[in-house]
Structure 1
Amino acid sequence: MFTPVPTTPIGVLSDAWRACVGTGRLNLALRSDYRDSLERVQREIGFRHLRGHGLLSDDLGIHRPYEFEGVRRVRHAFGYLDQVVDSWLELGIRPFLELGFMPSGLASGEQTVFWWKGNVTPPADEEEWAALVVAVVRHLIDRHGIDEVRSWPIEVWNEPNLVHFWKDADQAAYFRLYERTARALKDLDASLQLGGPAISPGSDEWWAPFAEFVTSREVPIDFVSRHAYSSGPSQRVPFGVYQTLAEPQTLLDQFAAPRRHLAGTGLERLPVHITEFNTSYRPDNPVHDTAYNAAYLAPVLAGGGDLVDSFSYWTFCDVFEEENIPTSPFHGGFGLLGHRQLAKPTFHLYAFMARLGAEVLARGADHLVTRHPDGRLAVLAWQPVDGTSAGAERHTVRLALPVGGPAVYAHRHRVNEDDGNAWTAWQQLGRPHHPTARQLDLLHEASRPALEHGVLPAGGGVVELELHLARHEICLVELEGVRDETEPWIDDDRVPGYAGGWRA
């Protein structure tokens, strides 16, 4: 039974999936492997904004307090920041600024998070904090222009509802920080985009008091933000963890939560940004490296844009060091790309999304059918997974697609447990901790999606597309009409090796 696909679009495919992507701390952007990875991501996918931690942390060197003639003073140094932002803009990606963490010279305590010790305590001096964030944004305006910086969303802190990221998860202290920051930056320029509270999953009780606080005090706010993950408790092993996953719909439910909780408040019409999402919230969970991760996230990318204005995959590459420096090329890192720009299956999911058309002709639990302005069709199909079971060995998608002409050219890329899967090849190589140059070449070759192509006949303006998907497969099928320009003297049967070849 083939599912008929109508010729009339049912909607437009939102590009909220590519509005933003996450990154490791900003200092890492000074490294060549980071820049090489970002260049590939932008070339094959093309995100618009990039968000990460550590803008104000010590290793970017912005906040530099000193004493002169018995008076405390602060110098702001932007050399590293300029290198980071300039390199992003050169690759066509803009910052989504996260204001954090606290510089040690301004911190009220010594509590830190991550291997690189981001300070998570409130400022010892709120006026100095306000002067710092204003100085940063003013410098960026001076360097890049006010119109450019107005297009960069600015988020106040990261997950203040968690004691790991904000001392004692002190809600009142975060609200004060948000208000002081928002008022200071709006005084600098009223058109800057400010928002928060960037809360993690499981803390929806923050929405009502946050909405009450900012509306009752008329605190400026232009968007709201939160994070979404679907993993359960961690089972730790050396250099990694294992976790269960809830079903993919859980992520979409989390995307929808802010608007549900803010209905009837003064914030209900604000844009919603999911500034981090993934399956697992751990940077050492092997699921991130798998074809299963890609199949799991396919319906999320296909449908998430109907719920929010952006949802930012955490992260674009494995140049990332929150749990110390990784000890092997595949270690469960968040990245779409592993070290040495090794493409993971989820990278290919995003690259497939980048090749879809704008018009949506059909959606299903295992497919998304789109059309380009020139009439070409692009179909994304995947094996549905539920977050827990291993999944079937095969899954079939049957679609009756509207086309013009008697035949179409079909171009299919596929990724599954065997095809386009460097993680599987790495396992088969014995999981080398430090691959040789030869092994890296093999892994890159194994990471390429499989390709098949051919001509499909069409009858009555319809082509029947039958896709047999292997375990945990995602695939992209691009269909375009065939205009035969073969000259009348062409006869392939006369080519040696084809039906006997030409004979004198």
Structure 2
Amino acid sequence: MTPVVVPDAPAATLSDAWRRCVGTGRLNLALRRDYQDSLALVQSEIGFRYLRGHGLLSDDVGIHRPYDAAGHRGTRYSFTYADQIVDSWLGLGIKPFVELGFMPSGLASGDQTVFWWKGNVTPPRDHREWAALVGAVVRHAVDRYGLEEVRTWPFEVWNEPNLVHFWEGASQEAYFRLYEVTAAAVKEVDASLQVGGPAISPGADDWWEPFARFVEARDVPVDFLSFHAYTTGPAQPVPFGTYQTLRRPQSLLDQFAAPAKLVAGTRLEGLPTHVTEFSTSYRPDNPVHDTAYQAASVAPVLAAGGDHVDSFSYWTFCDVFEEENIPTSVFHGGFGMLGHRQLRKPVFHLYAFMARMGGDVLHRGEDHLVTRDGAGRVTVLAWQPVGGTDDGDEPDRHELRLSVPVGGGATTAYVHRSRVGEHDGNAFSAWRELGRPASPTARQLDLLHEASAPAREHASVPVTEGRADLRLTLGRHEVTLVEIDPVRDETPAWLDDARIVGRPAEAAG
């Protein structure tokens, strides 16, 4: 196999679009310890910038509190829970990507709800009262956290209004009115605050042109565009789970790129674009989320997604999530990159690998991304290319050979490799081998945590004319990170490893 010659000169700067935002379960769940421990772990090893989830205005956060008692009637805005949630996020270095929804029951025009926790998805019965609620939320944020901070928070209007499950009748007219009222309420607090939408799901291309026409005709502010991307086909339900067919990972990149083309020539052209949800499956109970395939399929998206959008938010960071009722087992196909009790899934390691990449992109291919940092460390993220359901299974092995530059005049390089796949770094695989315990014992949890660690190996390789040759064999659905550091040998002349009892094999030669 002829090696891919990686250039020495940077071709680009690695975009941070891949970790600008991540998704979360409904906001009330942020009050739980498992959620808080999981977010702390994610931030320590990955470090996302923003966090987005449903339910800020739903009843279980308790902001909108109408009252009629003892001759007094009005509405009180309570931020008891909201403050705890946002304070905890900011304390971990992550900001809110504020989704304004769903409808509090005291303001709802109907009783249609979605999810087990019954988020109300009807328009407000009084748009003036809705505007007052939005204004109160934004003003409170400014008062508590300061205008300069809140100016960095995007305010997104609703979630997937093109779907009847998330917006009564999926009415464009009703959504456009809601968007106009909401945008005005946000801007009334401060004109420089960011507001956007329409937060539509895949397959809603017919919303872009009407949305552009509406905001142009009414001169409605739009600071960014948002939408979602998934690769799954129809649901195939089983008890407490769902299977689905999948399209190729390229489908996600195609979806990322589509809106810019659809709004070309309109007032929306050139606005920042955010994918506020993406994954393979849109179901919170599809086992694919727990697998090594998930990581291998997302890898090329992380490597190239920043070419198309300003951010793309993995849905979600952890399995503390309850759209389809309370999960019945520790692994249940949840959206999270972390399972319950902070069990790391392969896709978590993919993100943690990305967080260790350098800032200068040297090369990118269909199965690898090569970067370098300011200290001269070269990093290679490699993955086995995967297809969709109709493409058949991937082979058991994937070969990659690279010639990478090594600076500093070094004659040797230290190569450190971390990998996850069908067996290594795969708690889901270990869980199946344990008999799929629904509620693992303390010992079983310890075993699962140990099994979730990536396999690691290291070696010294020669550097010839400023280059090292890497020969990588990847297993099925493997994602691997290789870190190459130039070596400056500081071995004193008097040391002789061959004299060590049980000396290393290399010293014996």
Residue 58 of structure 1: SS of its match in structure 2?
Answer: coil
How do residues 349-498 of structure 1 correspond to structure 2 at under 5 angstroms? Answer: 349-388=350-389, 389-404=392-407, 405-498=410-503
Secondary structure class of the residue paired with 1:319: coil
- Please give the residue correspondences for 1:281-292 in structure 2 after superposition, counting only pairs within 5 Å: 281-292=282-293
In the TM superposition, 1:4-403 aligns within 5 A as 4-68=5-69, 72-388=73-389, 389-403=392-406
The letter of the residue matching 1:362 is H
1:10 to partner: Cα distance: 1.2
**Counterpart Cα distance in 2 of 1:119 and 1:3:** 54
Deviation at 1:71, TM superposition (A): 6.1
| Residues 17-47 of structure 1: per-residue CA shift (max 9 Å, x gap) | 0000000000000001100000000000000
Q: 1:99 & 1:214 partners in 2: Cα distance? A: 19
Report how far residue 69 of structure 1 moved. 6.0
User: Residue 307 of structure 1: CA displacement?
Assistant: 0.4
SS across alignment from 1:311: strand
Q: Percent identity?
A: 70
CA drift of 1:373 comes to: 1.2
Q: Secondary structure of 2:375's partner?
A: coil
Deviations 1:321-380 (A, max 9, x none): 000000111100000100000000000000000000111111111000001011110000
Q: Secondary structure at the match of 1:337?
A: coil
Distance 2:71 2:227 in 1: 44
Question: Is there any run of 5+ residues in structure 1 with no aligned partner, and where?
Answer: none
Shift of residue 70, structure 1, vs aligned partner = 5.4
Aligned to 1:438, the other structure's residue is in SS state: helix
Q: Which amino acid aligns with 1:314?
A: W
* Aligned equivalents of 1:392, 1:84: Cα separation in 2: 45
Measure, in 1, the Cα distance between the counterparts of 2:93 and 2:345: 22
Aligned length: 501
Amino acid at match of 2:418: H
Contact 1:97 1:154 in 2 (8 A): yes
Instruction: Give the letter for the 1:8 counterpart.
Output: A
Write the letter of the residue equivalent to 1:393: D
2:4 and 2:394 map into 1 onto residues whose CA distance is 23
CA displacement, residues 55-78 of structure 1 (integer Å, 9 cap, x when unaligned): 000000110001146564100100
Preserved CA contact (<8 Å) 1:298 1:382: yes
In the TM superposition, residue 295 of structure 1 has moved relative to its aligned partner by 0.3
Q: Residue by residue, what CA displacement relative to the aligned partner does 1:136-164 show, whole Å, maximum 9, x if unpaired?
A: 11111111000001101000000000000
The one-letter amino acid of 2:401's match is R
Distance in 2, matches of 1:249 and 1:472, equals 16
Q: Is 1:377–1:478's contact at 8 Å kept on the other side of the alignment?
A: yes
- CA deviations on 1:161-184 (whole Å, 9 max, x unpaired) are 000000000110000000001011
What residue identity is the alignment partner of 1:425? A
Q: CA deviation at 1:98?
A: 0.2
CA distance in 2, matches of 1:97, 1:499: 57
Could you give the per-residue CA deviations for residues 265-298 of structure 1, whole angstroms, max 9, x where no partner exists?
Answer: 0110100000000000000000000000000010
Conserved 8 A contact 1:296-1:387: no
Which amino acid letter does the alignment assign opposite residue 214 of structure 1?
Answer: V
Paired letter, 1:463: A
Question: Shift of the alpha carbon at 1:8?
Answer: 1.1
Shift in Å, 1:492: 1.0
- Deviation, 1:460, is 1.4
Determine the C-alpha separation between the residues in 2 that align with 1:270 and 1:71. 46
Unpaired runs of 5+ residues, structure 2, are none
Output the CA distance in 1 between the equivalents of 2:475 and 2:204. 38
Residues in 2 aligned to 1:176 and 1:72: alpha-carbon distance in whole angstroms: 27
Q: Report Cα offsets for 1:375-406 as digits up to 9, x if no partner.
A: 11000000000022221100011001111321
Q: Deviations over 1:123-145 (max 9, x none)?
A: 00100000001101111111100
Tell me if the contact between 1:223 and 1:271 (Cα under 8 Å) persists in the aligned partners: yes
Q: CA deviation at 1:209?
A: 0.3
The residue matched to 1:252 in structure 2 has which SS? helix
- Match of 1:59, SS? coil
Q: Give the superposition deviation at 1:481.
A: 0.4
How far did residue 499 of structure 1 move? 7.1
Please state whether the residue corresponding to 1:340 is helix, strand or coil.
helix
Shift in Å, 1:215: 1.2
RMSD: 1.1
SS in structure 2 at match of 1:60: coil
Give me the whole-angstrom Cα distance separating, in 2, the residues matched to 1:248 and 1:76.
Answer: 44
CA distance in 2, matches of 1:297, 1:313: 9
Q: Partners of 1:366 and 1:187 in 2: how far apart? A: 48
